[in-house]
Structure 1
Amino acid sequence: MQLQRAPAFQRGDWPALRHLSCWYVRKDCWGQGVAGELVHWAINHALSHPMIYRTEAACDVMNVASARMMEKAGMSQGALLRRYLFHPNVSDEPRDAFLYSKVR
């Protein structure tokens, strides 16, 4: 599996940094533990940074598998975000999402 690096904030951008997680898993890899392994690694790696105190991820309210996986990774559901995510393959309208987080 190849990970691509997203643009990062510079050290002086925020006094306390957050880490926002985002992942997409190919359909032929679903159910193999790929996302769970990645999420555990990303959370632990992010929270090991001395300037990161919170890691966040969001999932569509209908995506029960992702919500369960985030809870298994130690994240807690914190908010319902109305009309937050776009899924062009599901709807042309923004969809509601649950926000999950883990803090140290």
Structure 2
Amino acid sequence: MTDEAKEFLEVIGLEIKKEKSAKNDACCVSVYKYLRIIENSRGIPTRSSFEEVQSKLISRVARLCHTRLNAKNLFSAINQHAISLINYHIGVLRLEPADFSK
């Protein structure tokens, strides 16, 4: 925290609870989580992040396939519900076509 911020808090009569704000968990020192994607210390998304997105995608498609939607509505639902998951992560995860061969 900058000296200006500390001085401002002191002037307005607020104090900083250091024991409450210093909650660095030892388990998360080497990883960083951004948009629900776990990255290693160098900022590279881990393989487990991709596998989690892939398993969620498969489960969403499977859930939609168990509905009584006709073909047109089924593909529309897959594009809206399941593919939106990939679109959310597409800029962060480096996905290749080979990753979806499963």
State the TM-score, normalized to the length of structure 2: 0.30
Which of the pair is proportionally richer in helix? 2
Higher RCO (Cα < 8 Å, 6 or more apart): 1
Which of the pair is proportionally richer in strand? 1
User: Which of the two has higher C-alpha Rg?
Assistant: 2
